[in-house]
Amino acid sequence: MDTASSSKPETSLLLNSLPKELPAEFLKDITDGFSPKRQLGRGAFGTVYRGTLTDGTEIAVKKIGSGSLVTPDKQFQNEVGNLMAVRHDNIVKLVGYCYEMKKTVVEHNGKYIIADTVDSLLCYEYMRMGSLENHIFAPSTLDWATRFKIIKGICQDFGLSRLFGAEQTRMHTLNVVGAHGYMAPEYLYRGEISTQLDIYSLGLLIIEITTGERNPRSKDDMSARNLVENVRQSWTIEHIVSKYSSLDANSLQQLKVCIEIGLQCVETDRKKRPPIEHIVNKLDGRLWDKQ
């Protein structure tokens, strides 16, 4: 996830004039053949590279991992269209994409055959401040006011919860794919998808930003239960007051609320997780007097 900035770099005229559907060869060229030296990060669904246009403008090129699901062309383009339509200060702008079918010779059961493969890539504005995780963990210069602003910004426009709204019929998948350490237990073990799925991931992110403690993202702890239990036991009001003795009463209340929200979001029982509207209201202070 990229940090939002009040002074985003200006988008170049070349970037604005680029066709939205970009050739795979073009994206390969501007990333030096997807060179490891240009790698910005790696996630469950692909690897991100820094691409440089002819006028020096940089963009982030996400190459969808070969192990991820291949989305049909029409569905992929519809999803890209939705992403391009999004305009929000806390969401990195999608500026282009690539979806190219090609024939490739592969080995199958001891024989070489010609198979259809797909190059799927997404292109985003390049954020010079880098990933959020570059700033929130110790040693960090972020004060509490900045951390709280980041948390509120993330929650004001968030994922599946905003798209689905109220609870709907659950879905299931046999293809469990996601970032290590951020998967809700019901998704990890049962392939269950619902509106509370990304609330779990949001809760872990809130916990990380609030405490400055890193989710280890271990294959042995895909739901980060060790981090959750550590925060549940250690981050008491006494610990908060002791660690942040310089904060005023209002800031301490904000911090306490963020810990509470984070822990509610990562409840093992998905039905106990709060809806995004409740989280936003609580962060705005509208529910504090009801505690």
Please tell me the CATH code under which domain 13-125 is placed: 3.30.200.20
CA distance 195 to 284: 22
Q: What is the pLDDT of residue 248?
A: 94
Is the separation of the CB atoms in 224 and 236 below 8 Å? no
Residue 241's contacts (CB-CB under 8 Å, 6 or more residues apart) are 252
C-alpha angle 221/207/125, rounded to 5°?
95
Q: What is the pLDDT of residue 3?
A: 40
Is the separation of the CB atoms in 222 and 180 below 8 Å? yes
Q: What is the pLDDT of residue 279?
A: 93
Q: What is the pLDDT of residue 224?
A: 80
Do 13-125 and 133-290 have matching folds? no
Q: What is the pLDDT of residue 257?
A: 95
Q: What is the pLDDT of residue 7?
A: 40
Is the separation of the CB atoms in 14 and 108 below 8 Å? no
For the chain, list residues with pLDDT below 70: 1-12, 43-45, 65-79, 82-91, 129-141, 159-195, 217-223, 287-291
pLDDT digits (tens, 9 = 90+) for 143-167: 899 999 989 988 888 754 444 444 4
In the chain, what are the domain boundaries? 13-125, 133-290
Q: What is the pLDDT of residue 176?
A: 42
pTM of the predicted protein model: 0.62
Task: Select the CATH number that applies to the domain covering 133-290 from these four: 3.40.50.300, 2.70.50.30, 1.10.540.10, 1.10.510.10.
Answer: 1.10.510.10
Q: What is the pLDDT of residue 51?
A: 94
